[in-house]
Structure 1
Amino acid sequence: MDPNATPIAPAPLRVCTVSDGIDALLRLAGYITLMPPLAAREDLTLAMALDRLRSLEPGHFDRIVIAPDAEKDASPRLVEAIVAEARLNSPDVVVLLPQKSRMAFAAAPGLTVLFGPPFDLNQPPASSPAAEGETITSPAPRGWWRRFLGRQSPEQGAPAVTAPAEPSLPSSLRLIAVQPLCGGAGATSLAVNLAVEIARADRNRRVCLLDLNLQFGNVATYLGLPTNARVVDIYRSIGAIDADSFDMCLTRSPKAPENLQIFPAPNEILPVDGLSSSNLARIIALARSSADVVILDMPHLVADWSEVAFAEADAVLAVSLLDVRSAQNAARLRELINAETLAKAHLLYLLNRVPRKPSALWEEAQQEFEKAAGTGIYQLLPEAGADPSAAANRGLPLAEYAPSNRLRVEIRDLARDMTRSMAMQSAQA
C-alpha cells in the first residue's frame, strides 16, 4: 500500500427510521445520538413505511430503526409486517420499545429489540418485554435530547446551561406575527382563531388578519371565504398598491365578528420572492392604518422579506411541536431574531398538541426544548382532537364549531390577556 495515498473515506451508513407520535420520536432521538455521526438517513412514518420498503431492492439500507407509538397502541400486525419487510431490506433491524412494552418479537438473525430511553448499544438483545416487576436498566447517561441538539453535557466541559427566562407579553401589541417552526404545527389555525378571539373580546377593536403564504395560504378556507381574484392582481402589480386597492382586497367572514377583516392569500401559486421587503412594509403600513391590531400568518419558511415582519412585529409567536426538528428550528430562529437588525423583536414560543397528561419523558423533553430555545415556553396549547381540522373543513372558527374545546379555551384566554395588555397600553398613551 502506498503510504502517500489519500485514504478513502468510508461510505456513510445508510439508515432508515420509522416512527410515529411524540414518544416514539423521543425514543428515536435518544437512539440516534448513539449512532455514528456520518449517516445518510431517510425518515418514514409508520403509515408509509410498508409501501416504501416494498418498493426497494434488498439490502438498500445498512440499518432500519423502528419506533412504534406506544401511546396510540399501534397495530401489532402492522408493526410485525414492517419488521418483516425491514429484515428483507437490511441486515440490521432495530426495534425501539418503551420500558415494559407489551409488544413481543420472536428472536431472529439481524433483529435487535431495545427498551428505553436511555438506550445502551451493549444491552443484550431481547425478544420480549421485561417480566412483571423487572426493570431493564442501562448505564447510558441522561440528557440525550441535549446531545442530539449538538450540545455537550457539563461533564464534557461545556458551560452550564442557565435556566431559561420566563417569557411575557410586550407592552405594545399592535402587530403580531405567527411563525410556524415546522410543517403541521398548527400556526394558521392559531392565527385564525386568535384573530377571531381578539375581535370577539373587544368589538370596538378593529383586527386585520394578513395571510402571507403566497403559495398555499389557507386563512380564507379556514373562515369559509370565497376566492378574491383582486388579490392576485394586487401581487402582480404590488409596487402600485395604495389604500384603495388594499381595501378592495379586505373581506369579512359571516362566521366571524364584523370587526375582523381578512387579507387572503392569492388563489394562485406565486413565487415566494414575488414579495419584496419594501412592498411588505407598505402592506403592513396599510393594514395598520385600517386596523388597531394586525396579525400576520407567516409561511413555513423564512424569506428575504420575513425580516421586515420580524422587525416590525411587537410579538413573534413561534408555534411548534415537541420534536427534534422543532427544537432545532427554535434555536435557529432565536439566532436569527437575535441578529443586530432584529434585536427588538419579541419572540414567544407556543407549544402545540400538549397531551392531557404529559409523561415524565415528555416533560424532560420540554425542558430541553426550552434550553435550546433559550427561553421558557410562553403558552402550552393542548391536544384538541379532530375539532380543529373539522372546523377548518367547514370554514368555521373554533368559537363557532366547538366553543368548549380545550384548545379554543386556551386561545380565548390568550386573546383576553392580549386585549388587556392592549387596553393598558391605550390607557397609558
Structure 2
Amino acid sequence: MQDPIILRRDDILSPVEAQYWKDLLYRASKIGTEIEVATPSGVRRPVFEDAIRSALEPSGSFERLGPNGVLDVQTEHCGIEIRVIGRHPSFRALQKQYNQIMQVITLNGGRVKSTCGLHFHLLTPGLAEPVPEIIMANLWNLVRRYAPELKYLTSTGDKREALCRRRNHNSHLEMVRHSPATMTMKDIYEQLKKSKIVPEHQNFFNIQHLGFVESGSILPLHLEYRFPDATLSASAVTAFSFLFLALLLKAVNLSQFGVIHVGKIKQWRRKQEILNLLSNNDGDLATSDTSGVSDEVVSELRNGANELLELLQSLFQRFNHNQAFEVLQALADQPISLMRCAGYDWPTIEQRLHQKVKLMDFDFEKVERRLMLGIELCEWTKQLSQQHWESHVAKELLLSPGDIEKRIKKIQEFRELRWDNQKGTMTFTS
C-alpha cells in the first residue's frame, strides 16, 4: 500500500481477537446477488420474465437453495431482477451456479444495458454476537480509499465515453464525505439515513441494513455493494464475491492496529477526481460520461487496482481451490468495459476470464479413495518416518514406491497432508 496511514484507536483488537473474528466472519458470511437484466428487443417484459422464472425454478425461500440458487425473479425498472440466495462462497459451486444462470439469461435473449446493475449482499445469518465497530470502520475506509479502483474493476460499459452506468443508483457523493476518523459508524449510518443528496439505499456502499447495539458494535451485519455494473460473465461474478469477502477479512486484520486512512490530502483529492470521472450523471442513455478517463487515468486505475489486490492477496490463500485472484488480476489489467470497447462479445469475455480458472478435476481412482480412507481412519500408524510410512502403505495397497508418491501428491493438491511424528502417520490437516 502506498503511503499507508493508520488512525489510532483505543478499541483495537488483540491478535487473538482478530484471529477469532476473521475465522468467525469467514464461516458466517454468505454472499448473494441481485442481477438486473434488460428485456430482449421486441419481446414483452412479462413474456421474458415468465421464461426466465420457468427456466431458473426459483425456490421462493431463503431456506431452500433450489436447483440454481435463485430466490425469485421480479420486475425491475430495466426489465427483470434475479435475486440469488446468499451462500458461503465456494468457487466451484458459485462458478457452476452463475454459469447456469447466465446461460438461461443468454438463451432467452437477455441483455445488459446501462440501466442494469449488479448488487452484492454480504450477510451473516445466525451471527449471535455483535461485530466490533472498528472492523466496520476499517471496511468503510477500505471501500472509500479504493472506490475508483473498485468501480473500474466492476465496470462493463461498451464505449470509452460510457465505461460505467450513471451514478444515480450507486452514488459515492455521501460516502466520500464521512470518515470514521471523526465519526462513529453509527453516526455515519444516521447521516446516510437523513441525507437529502443520496437516497439511503442508493449509496455506493449501502449500510442501511446494519444494526447497532448500545456499545456501538454491529448486529446484524448486512452490507450491500451497489456499484458493480451488470455482467453476463459467471467468472467475474464469482471473483467479485470473493473480493468483497476478502475486503471484510482484511478489515479484521487492520483492526489490530487502528483504522486505515484514505490517504494523504493530495492523493485523496485525486481519488475523488477520478471517481467523479468514472461515475456521474452526465452521459447519454443512463451512462456516466467517462470521456475524461484518458489512457493515463486508466493506467492510474490499473496501478491502484493491482495495489488493492496485492493488499488482499494473502486472504485469497485462505480460499481452497480458488482462482478468484487470477480472474481479478486479469480484470485489473483489462476490466470487462475495456474488453467490450475492444470489440469482445460476452461469450468471448467469459472465455478469456475462464482461462484463468484452472480448477483441477479431482476424479479420484478407487485406489486413491482407499488411500484417503486409510489416512482418514489412521490405519497406518507407528511408522518411523514418512518414507517408512509410504513404503508400508505401498505394500498394503500393492503399489510401487513411485506410484504411491504420485498419488499422495495428487491428494495433497486437493486436501493438505502433514506428517504426524507422534502418531507415526500422515494425517489430513482439516
**TM-score, normalised on structure 1?**
0.24
More strand by share: 1
More helix by share: 2
Higher relative contact order (CA 8 A, sep 6+): 2
**TM-score, normalised on structure 2?**
0.24
